Chain A
């Protein structure tokens, strides 16, 4: 009889082969190719042989030092991400605390979750165009509302104002994603060992104490996961600013992805510059991810210790509760 591990290990390679092949062809090769184009003078609609610049880093230098539009796009991307992520995570945490609070017993939780998550499902493009129509000038639902309430007598051109335009983009991003963050956090809370909450209740902790002393520390890993995915998503923000105001007014909602798209595909065909910009974006996301990964590593080790402790505890109290490991 054949034994496991002798003949079968090759299936490990066979079963993961399609993934690796698709990755090599459709991800790795294009990334290397993009990096290479960043060092060349590839421009224009008609393909020609690649030629490396005399100064290979010229494209990168130009972008970082002589291109205010690119610098602005980096700043905008960072700004839009922070302004939407901070309130998003605060509100998501608050709702998580409420929905998972055993003593509050919120009725209709299911309906609330379904409704709050809804904006996340609809195409970002649809939402962006919808909002630009809602805030349009001179006639739009928001303008009519302002007049109805007596807040303004003449129509306001909201989208001409840089701060308001940025604010609305950040708000759309926030509005689309807080429900998603909330549901991931709720899932995380449900994964926490119930024995922890029981013992807190026995010790007489109130809702706020339980949340800050037990829920929040146990959620660290998931909070970091949310942070990473939101960060990578924020860095590649495209649909909403692109279709909302196409970067305007005066580049105030131009993001890095839109800059890349604009350089290469909107008639200027500056592939080399777009490629160099992509690589800068790639390096930034790699550095940020590595940093967060590093944080996560530490926490994981700490978490393992905690789980061990919990195991010992539950063994002692002879409960044998289920712990959710990785």
Chain B
């Protein structure tokens, strides 16, 4: 018996060692490309060409200067991306919560049908309608406008689905009825009582919606042709162009600048992001 247990702990120790080795390797694999990116952003082109290094150098400012000289305007791109992502996130979160609340609280004839409809809409890839969408926006002169990138966010089926699952698990109808007895209108009840109750779910979905909109490339690339309207991902695509062909240092600098805000946000919020994904998973 004793012997057996000892054997068990030995195998467990070996197993554990294997697990740690694999996990550390994967963690290094996650960090290394970004580390090389940040290091190379501080190295001169000749240094980069002379070989791999993991220690930062001193050419950060000169790389930045070369980058900015050639029509790369990270501040403008940052602002554009921020305006689009923040507005789209607000619309997504508010109207999805509203629709989910409508689905959960009221019994109406088309309720079941609407839920099925949302499940179906979730499966439609955005690119499938891109040509018609572009032609439509072209006709009403909305190309080079942020509106077609923001307004469609009102209909986010996956978020409605998530919010519905969350409300089903947490909302008790007594709260709504108590508010009614106190004379609160339906919209007021939603805005003042229900929305604050939904904060955990809202925060999770807001983070995802923000990152998703921030990273979107396909639609902005189709709709935005004026340089002043470019978003961060479009600016990244410029780094692939000929103007930076031999300026490796400034290419890495450009990449670092587009990734940096997301890194900062991620490490500040990583705990909530991971927990949020977990919450999302459980409710599926």
Write the residues of chain A forming the contact surface with B, with a CB cutoff of 8 angstroms. Answer: 2, 4-5, 8-16, 18-23, 26-27, 29-37, 42, 47, 95, 98, 103-104, 106, 110-119, 121-127, 129-134, 139, 141, 144-145, 148, 175, 179-180, 183-188, 190-191, 221-222, 225, 228, 232, 235-236, 238-239, 242-243, 246, 257, 260-261, 264-265, 271, 274-275, 278-279, 281-282, 285-286, 289, 293, 324, 326
Q: Does B230 contact A (CB under 8 A)?
A: no
How many CB-defined contacts (below 8 Å) exist between A and B? 299
29 inter-chain pairs at a CB distance below 8 angstroms, sorted by A residue, are: A5-B107, A12-B108, A15-B190, A18-B95, A19-B155, A26-B155, A27-B152, A29-B132, A31-B124, A33-B132, A33-B133, A36-B132, A112-B26, A114-B271, A115-B31, A118-B34, A122-B34, A123-B236, A125-B217, A126-B233, A188-B282, A191-B282, A232-B125, A236-B127, A246-B240, A260-B130, A265-B221, A275-B131, A281-B127
Do B128 and A31 touch (CB < 8 A)?
A: yes
B109-157 at interface with A (beta carbon < 8 Å):
109-111, 114, 121, 123-136, 138-139, 148, 151-152, 154-155
Q: Does B278 contact A (CB under 8 A)?
A: yes
CB within 8 A of B134: which of A111, A184, A264?
A264
B28 nearest CB across to chain A (Å): 9
CB within 8 A of B281: which of A113, A116, A186?
A186
Do B281 and A183 touch (CB < 8 A)?
A: yes
B11-70 at interface with A (beta carbon < 8 Å):
12, 15-16, 19-20, 23, 26-27, 29-31, 33-34, 36-37, 40, 48-49, 51-52
| Given A116-B26, A116-B27, A260-B127, 14 additional A-B pairs, CB 8 A | A4-B173, A13-B102, A30-B136, A112-B26, A126-B258, A133-B255, A183-B281, A184-B281, A187-B281, A188-B284, A235-B125, A239-B218, A242-B237, A265-B222
A278 nearest CB across to chain B (Å): 5
Chain B residues lying within 8 Å of A222, measured Cβ to Cβ, are 281, 284
Do B131 and A264 touch (CB < 8 A)?
A: yes
Task: Kindly state the separation between the CA atoms of A127 and B263 in the bound complex, as whole angstroms.
Answer: 13
Known: A18-B98, A123-B215. A184 touches B106 (CB 8 A): no
B241 nearest CB across to chain A (Å): 11
B56-102 at interface with A (beta carbon < 8 Å):
95-96, 98-99, 101-102
A245 nearest CB across to chain B (Å): 9
A313 nearest CB across to chain B (Å): 21
Known: A37-B135, A278-B129, A289-B123. A9 touches B262 (CB 8 A): no
B175-204 at interface with A (beta carbon < 8 Å):
177, 180, 186, 190
Do B125 and A141 touch (CB < 8 A)?
A: no
Chain A residues lying within 8 Å of B171, measured Cβ to Cβ, are none
Chain A residues lying within 8 Å of B258, measured Cβ to Cβ, are 123, 125-126
Do B123 and A285 touch (CB < 8 A)?
A: yes
Do B131 and A37 touch (CB < 8 A)?
A: yes
Do A9 and B106 touch (CB < 8 A)?
A: yes
Known: A15-B101, A27-B155. A126 touches B23 (CB 8 A): no
Chain B residues lying within 8 Å of A179, measured Cβ to Cβ, are 30
CB-nearest residue of chain A to B148? A26
Task: Kindly state the separation between the CA atoms of A289 and B37 in the bound complex, as whole angstroms.
Answer: 38
Known: A47-B139, A265-B222. A12 touches B132 (CB 8 A): no
Chain B residues lying within 8 Å of A281, measured Cβ to Cβ, are 125, 127-128
Task: Kindly state the separation between the CA atoms of A25 and B106 in the bound complex, as whole angstroms.
Answer: 25
0/1 interface trace, chain B 264-279, chain A, CB 8 Å (1 if under): 0010001101100111
Chain B residues lying within 8 Å of A141, measured Cβ to Cβ, are 36, 40, 52
Q: Does B206 contact A (CB under 8 A)?
A: no
Do B102 and A15 touch (CB < 8 A)?
A: yes
Chain B residues lying within 8 Å of A265, measured Cβ to Cβ, are 134, 221-222
B179 nearest CB across to chain A (Å): 12
Do A221 and B284 touch (CB < 8 A)?
A: yes
Known: A30-B132, A141-B52. A236 touches B125 (CB 8 A): yes
| Total number of B residues with any Cβ neighbor in A under 8 Å | 97
CB-nearest residue of chain B to A115? B27
Q: Kindly name the residue among B95, B110, B211 whose own CB sees the greatest number of chain A CB atoms within 10 A.
A: B95
A84 nearest CB across to chain B (Å): 15
Task: Kindly state the separation between the CA atoms of A188 and B282 in the bound complex, as whole angstroms.
Answer: 5
Chain A residues lying within 8 Å of B96, measured Cβ to Cβ, are 19
Chain B residues lying within 8 Å of A27, measured Cβ to Cβ, are 121, 124, 129, 152, 155
Task: Kindly state the separation between the CA atoms of A72 and B72 in the bound complex, as whole angstroms.
Answer: 35
Q: Does B160 contact A (CB under 8 A)?
A: yes
Chain B residues lying within 8 Å of A180, measured Cβ to Cβ, are 277
Task: Kindly state the separation between the CA atoms of A121 and B208 in the bound complex, as whole angstroms.
Answer: 9
B31 nearest CB across to chain A (Å): 7
CB within 8 A of B266: which of A2, A9, A121, A129?
A121
Q: Does B166 contact A (CB under 8 A)?
A: no
Chain A residues lying within 8 Å of B27, measured Cβ to Cβ, are 111-112, 115-116
Task: Kindly state the separation between the CA atoms of A145 and B211 in the bound complex, as whole angstroms.
Answer: 33
CB within 8 A of A279: which of B52, B128, B233, B239?
B128
CB-nearest residue of chain A to B128? A282
A85 nearest CB across to chain B (Å): 16
CB-nearest residue of chain B to A265? B222
Q: Does B209 contact A (CB under 8 A)?
A: no
Q: Which are the 10 A-B pairs with shortest beta-carbon distances?
A: A187-B281, A15-B102, A33-B132, A12-B108, A34-B132, A12-B106, A22-B154, A30-B132, A26-B152, A30-B133
